[in-house]
A = this chain, B = another copy of it.
């Protein structure tokens, strides 16, 4: 009988767990903020976990990263300045930098070690990190956003961990209000908003708080994501303006190189399940 190694993430409050078969542990370190682990899995490529929670695998991260970036960018009429809060693995950054009209991307990740480890173990996600339009800051995203000048950004992407611990503030109304202030007219905010199956209340709360914070149009996106709890995930869009009508469908149709996202998917992903209809 041979030895088998499995990595298991327990979704404790949901009485469920996901396991991935591991070939070897590639790296382990305790950063000032969290425990970072890298595994080589048998079927999902390289895996990164933070404090025991799956963050990214080679095989399925395209779903999340494409949906955290392209819908927001194609909802803005001319996105030039983008702020990413979190996003340390750089997969969202890579997708944002594929938009030629973007002139500057500021990424504010709390933990520099996440980015340094990603550069080493996820070279594909970090392939655009040398792009001169990318600027990296390792700092607290909430403070950064609150201190940003009014109207500084066209798009803000909240690529955060779960709303517990340091990330809890990223789901608060006053943080969304700070994003609203830091966005220019017609600015677009997108925030990861957890699982529709497991956290429907959080999605409704996120929509409600963005509305309270001043966003005139709010809409959630629903998409599959195997390695996150329940395999079904969401992101919530808020637009500074009165409608979510700015979708640049022709530009989206001309955009190539994605594996999940395409113009028709932007619209399909915004169709809520019946239990989450307004």
A-side interface residues, number (CB < 8 Å): 41
Which of A93-101, A117-125, A148-156, A253-261 lines the interface with chain B? A253-261
Residue A21 at the chain B interface, CB threshold 8 Å: yes
Which of A139-147, A242-250, A265-273 lines the interface with chain B? A265-273
Of B15, B264, B271, which contacts A265 at CB under 8 A? B271
Residue A231 at the chain B interface, CB threshold 8 Å: yes
Inter-subunit contact B226/A60 (CB<8 Å): no
How many monomers of this chain does the complex have? 2
From 183 to 227 in chain A, residues with beta carbon under 8 angstroms from any chain B beta carbon are 196-197, 222, 224-226
Inter-subunit contact B16/A18 (CB<8 Å): yes
Q: Which residues from chain B contact A258 at a C-beta distance below 8 Å?
A: 274
Q: Which residues from chain B contact A196 at a C-beta distance below 8 Å?
A: 224
Inter-subunit contact B231/A259 (CB<8 Å): no
From 17 to 68 in chain A, residues with beta carbon under 8 angstroms from any chain B beta carbon are 17-21, 41-44, 59-60
Q: Which residues from chain B contact A225 at a C-beta distance below 8 Å?
A: 231
**Complex CA distance for A197 and B6, rounded to whole angstroms:** 20
Give the Cβ gap from A54 to chain B, nearest Cβ, in Å: 11
Known: A265-B273, A271-B265. Is A19-B8 also a contact (CB below 8 A)? yes
Of B18, B20, B43, B262, which contacts A274 at CB under 8 A? B262
Residue A1 at the chain B interface, CB threshold 8 Å: no
Of B44, B259, B273, B275, which contacts A15 at CB under 8 A? B44
A interface residues, Cβ below 8 angstroms from B: 6, 8, 13-21, 41-44, 59-60, 196-197, 222, 224-226, 230-232, 258-262, 264-265, 267-269, 271, 273-275, 277
